[in-house]
Amino acid sequence: MLTLTRVATPEHRQLWRELVGRYHYQGCAVAYGAQLRYLVSVSRPTVQRVGCLQFSSPAWRLAARDRWIGWDERQRACNLQRIVNNSRFLLLPWVQVRNLASAVLARAARTVVADWEAAYAVRPLLLETLVDTARFAGTCYRAANWTAVGTTTGRGRMDRHHQRHGQAPKAVFVYALARHARASAKRRRLEATASPAREGPEPMRAAAQRTLRRYEVGALPLLHALTQRMGLSALLARFVPRHGNDQVPVVDTLMLLLYNRTRAKEPLYPLPA
């Protein structure tokens, strides 16, 4: 039996980081934006850990994906957060089970929809991933019915000056989580479930505090410095629990604070539950 266990305890976080850091070719790094992590286990012949998964926020721009969807800039801005990136997939090197990789991907596609919606109040429409074709053929993704939609330019996320064009191109795969996913992604309004942002300041503050406890980026000193320069120190004190060792995400927290300050009627990113 195949089981995906969501990483939610300190012990599981440590194990996930150790396995990915040691056995994944890209190592363990903090994902951009939202994220969900899983430990993969099998129960036969004995219960054992066999791999790790990570899902995170989508690439801001991905030409092959955007062409496949066919959306314009406004549609992309409204619905980008309904795409989830499979940013890490690891099967431990000593595990040799036929068709295990594609079975894990199929189970993950069914699991992540409800988990992502419960965590971030957005129901995903599409999964995406990048496959380094110099190392892998993407066979397990094809076997799990993912669709190859093109390749990247090979520049990477941090190459803002176009100095690494073509150096590390990757294949782009997508997986539709709903019927008519492409048509839904091109609708102008973000069709998310009810967000705590629309339930008043008290539920919103409680949701923010739960979110801050869930992330793994220890950055309170930096966050305090940034909010002081932006004139948001008073708001920060309302959102961040008074624990000096709390670990919080800088960007997500600033977005929450700025939303509370501006009281935007249609926030681009719904507050997580």
Strand order in the sheet with 2-6: 2-6, 35-42, 48-56, 83-91, 126-132, 170-176, 147-151
* Single pTM value for the model: 0.67
Reply yes or no: is the peptide bond before residue 45 cis, omega within 30 of 0. yes
**Boundaries of every domain in the chain:** 2-185, 196-262
pLDDT in tens, 175-195: 999 988 999 998 865 444 334
Q: What is the pLDDT of residues 87-138, one digit of tens each?
A: 999 999 999 889 999 999 999 999 999 999 999 888 999 999 999 989 999 9
Query: Cβ of 147: how many Cβ atoms within 10 Å?
Result: 12
* Best CATH choice for the domain 2-185 from the list 3.40.630.30, 3.90.1300.10, 3.40.190.10, 3.90.76.10: 3.40.630.30
pLDDT, tens only, 196-242: 444 444 454 555 555 444 443 344 555 556 556 566 655 555 555 44
Averaged pLDDT for residues 139-149: 95
